[in-house]
Structure 1
Amino acid sequence: MAKLGKRLKSAYEGVDSNKFYTLEEAVKLIKSGAKSKFDETIEVAMNLGVDPRHADQMVRGVVELPNGTGKTVRVAVFAKADKAEEARKAGADIVGAEDLAEQIQGGMMDFDRCIATPDMMGVVGRLGKVLGPRNLMPNPKLGTVTPNVTEAIRAAKAGQVQFRVEKAGIIHAGVGKASFDEAKLVENIKAFIDAINKAKPAGAKGTYVKKVSLSSTMGVGVKLDIASVNA
Structure 2
Amino acid sequence: MAHHGKRVVKAREGVERTKLYKLEDAVKLVKTNASAKFDETVELAINLGVDPKHADQMVRGVVNLPNGTGRTLRVAVFARGAKADEARAAGADVVGAEDLVAAVQGGEINFDRCIATPDMMPLVGRLGKVLGPRGLMPNPKVGTVTMDVKAAVAASKGGAVEFRAEKAGIVQGSVGKASFGEEKLAENIKAFVDAVNKAKPAGAKGHYLLRAAVSSTMGPGVRLDLATLQTAGQTGA
Task: Count residues in correspondence.
Answer: 231
Q: State the match for 1:183 in structure 2.
A: 183
Go from structure 1 to structure 2 and tell me whether the alpha carbon gap of 1:120 and 1:12 turns closer, same or farther (over 3 Å shift).
Answer: same
Q: State the match for 1:162 in structure 2.
A: 162
2:38 is paired with a residue whose SS is: coil
Q: Tell me, in whole angstroms, the C-alpha distance in 2 between the residues paired with 1:119 and 1:206.
A: 40
Q: Tell me, in whole angstroms, the C-alpha distance in 2 between the residues paired with 1:3 and 1:173.
A: 27
Question: Once the two structures are superposed, what CA deviation does each residue of 1:157-204 show, in whole Å capped at 9, x if it has no partner?
Answer: 000000000001111001000000000000000000001111111111
Structure 1, unaligned runs of 5 or more: none
2:46 is paired with a residue whose SS is: strand
Question: Once the two structures are superposed, what CA deviation does each residue of 1:25-54 show, in whole Å capped at 9, x if it has no partner?
Answer: 000000000000110000000110000000
Tell me the CA shift for residue 7 of structure 1: 1.6
Normalised by the length of structure 1, the TM-score is 0.98
Q: Tell me, in whole angstroms, the C-alpha distance in 1 between the residues paired with 2:33 and 2:217.
A: 10
Q: State the match for 1:74 in structure 2.
A: 74
Q: Tell me, in whole angstroms, the C-alpha distance in 1 between the residues paired with 2:99 and 2:159.
A: 28
Once the two structures are aligned, what percentage of the paired residues are identical? 68
Q: State the match for 2:27 in structure 1.
A: 27
Q: Tell me, in whole angstroms, the C-alpha distance in 1 between the residues paired with 2:144 and 2:3.
A: 46
Tell me the CA shift for residue 122 of structure 1: 1.4
Matches within 5 A, 1:93-108: 93-108=93-108
Q: State the match for 2:234 in structure 1.
A: none
Q: Tell me, in whole angstroms, the C-alpha distance in 1 between the residues paired with 2:2 and 2:76.
A: 44
Q: State the match for 2:235 in structure 1.
A: none
Q: State the match for 2:17 in structure 1.
A: 17
Q: State the match for 1:217 in structure 2.
A: 217
Q: Tell me, in whole angstroms, the C-alpha distance in 1 between the residues paired with 2:19 and 2:136.
A: 37
Q: State the match for 2:139 in structure 1.
A: 139
2:229 is paired with a residue whose SS is: helix
Q: State the match for 2:192 in structure 1.
A: 192
Tell me the CA shift for residue 13 of structure 1: 2.7
Q: Tell me, in whole angstroms, the C-alpha distance in 2 between the residues paired with 1:24 and 1:4.
A: 27
Q: State the match for 1:45 in structure 2.
A: 45
2:8 is paired with a residue whose SS is: helix
Q: Tell me, in whole angstroms, the C-alpha distance in 2 between the residues paired with 1:69 and 1:76.
A: 18
1:230 is paired with a residue whose SS is: coil
Tell me the CA shift for residue 2 of structure 1: 4.3
Give the letter for the 1:175 counterpart.
Answer: V
Q: Tell me, in whole angstroms, the C-alpha distance in 1 between the residues paired with 2:128 and 2:16.
A: 44
Structure 2, unaligned runs of 5 or more: 232-237
Go from structure 1 to structure 2 and tell me whether the alpha carbon gap of 1:3 and 1:143 turns closer, same or farther (over 3 Å shift).
Answer: closer
Q: Tell me, in whole angstroms, the C-alpha distance in 1 between the residues paired with 2:125 and 2:222.
A: 41
Q: State the match for 1:90 in structure 2.
A: 90
Go from structure 1 to structure 2 and tell me whether the alpha carbon gap of 1:2 and 1:143 turns closer, same or farther (over 3 Å shift).
Answer: closer
Go from structure 1 to structure 2 and tell me whether the alpha carbon gap of 1:80 and 1:3 turns closer, same or farther (over 3 Å shift).
Answer: closer
Q: Which moved more, 1:118-127 or 1:26-35?
A: 118-127
1:61 is paired with a residue whose SS is: strand
Matches within 5 A, 1:96-135: 96-135=96-135
CA-atom RMSD, angstroms?
Answer: 0.9
Give the letter for the 1:127 counterpart.
Answer: L
Give the letter for the 1:198 counterpart.
Answer: K
Q: State the match for 1:7 in structure 2.
A: 7
Give the letter for the 2:26 counterpart.
Answer: A
Asked whether 1:58 is paired with 2:53, we answer no
